[in-house]
Structure 1
Amino acid sequence: MTEQHSAIEVDGLGVRFRLGRRGRRSFKDLFAGKKRRNRPGEFWALRDVSFRVRQGEAIGVVGRNGQGKSTLLKLVAGVLLADEGQVRVHGGVAPLIELTGGFVGDLTVRENVRLTAGLHGMGRAEVSARYDDIIDFAELEKFQDTPYKHLSNGMKVRLAFSVVSQLEEPILLVDEVLAVGDKAFRDKCYQRIDELLAEGRTLFFVSHNEKDLRRFCTRGLYLNKGGLVLDASIGEVLDSYNADNP
């Protein structure tokens, strides 16, 4: 596979955490550039993981809790740094991860839309052009001047999904966000993701929901104990995962 046709390239990826108060290496360690040996009280969340994701492909990542799925997603998003190997991402990412992060409680809905969209890279003119669509999707027309902290949890999630799903980045990173909200909102999310995939976006999707995985994904990655057990069609991956976890 040539680089120009790849959206994500992962080679020999490994990330190590410390048990206790400090889960990752300090900045001092990083600047020193030292490769430490594994010590007691440390564990590898991911080790020797390699795969490619083609542009326009929809990939589902499965595995039990604590097996490295969300860690892998954060490495692709650039939130975490790897201890071994590398991740190359060709194009910007729209991260549907920990959706309500970055919003400010004392700011209004209107102010938070402009702030959060700007933090994700939207210019002022683009935010203005998309503002009404964001508010309409989130169904918050009557709450535009309400402080964010006074919204219900469901409203907060709707607003966050609406902002991020308006980004025009070619790679969509999704981590279990479709498990929240009522059925009507989930249906809107499904329709929006269908639209993004029809536009040729790349989907990297972490979920425990087999129905969602089969709906959106054609290929799957099965992680276990920080390693890549299987890279195959989503059906084969889910069958293998279910056989190991009856």
Structure 2
Amino acid sequence: MKVLIVEDDSAIAANLYDYLEAGGYEVDVAANGNAGLQMALADSWDAILLDLSLPGMDGLTLCRRLREEAARDTPVLMLTARDALDDKLAGFVHGADDYLVKPFSLKEVGARLGAMIKRYRGQVATMDLRFADVRLDLSTMTVERAGRPVKLPPKCLHLLRVLMQSPHRTFTRAELEAEVWGEELPDSDTLRTHVYTLRRALSRPAETDVIETLHGVGYRLATSGGDAK
């Protein structure tokens, strides 16, 4: 997922960049309003983090031009030091989707950003997770690949759910072990064995492997696939 940060405070921009990139986002930064609008229009973004007070063009004007002149509906999370109700209302009137007052928690930025993107994609009410031609029905915890049923043991099912909730994000071995096994951490080869089982179940000989191994780092979902050695 691609996120544009429009923020003139270099320290805040760097913190946001590092946090979101570590979370699997593809991130770029604009340091003023004019550059921000140009970058917002030059590419397709899943969301924009937009500071209200910017040199060149303020955030309200940028957001209004994005909506009215360019007819772009990219989700916008407005970031500002102003906490007055009128300022918040002005942000919404000009097209912002959500609003955060500085100083803010990076975790809250991540949570609001994820929720905003899900709403934009219409994923809030759905009980399905999808990646490529893989579908996980959360209501029944059943899996299909290109329409064919895929039977998985419980731990592999849990592992797939974690990976599909953040497609393209690279999960470290430690993160996946904590997510799937909790405090009862498995033996060193247990995760590798489960990834191998999951990979074999999902991918028939003619099908693309959707699990990619980043050696020495961890695993992620990717259409290119990868070796699990």
- TM-score using structure 1 length: 0.25
Structure having greater relative contact order (Cα 8 Å, sep ≥ 6): 1
Larger fraction in strand: 1
- TM-score using structure 2 length: 0.26
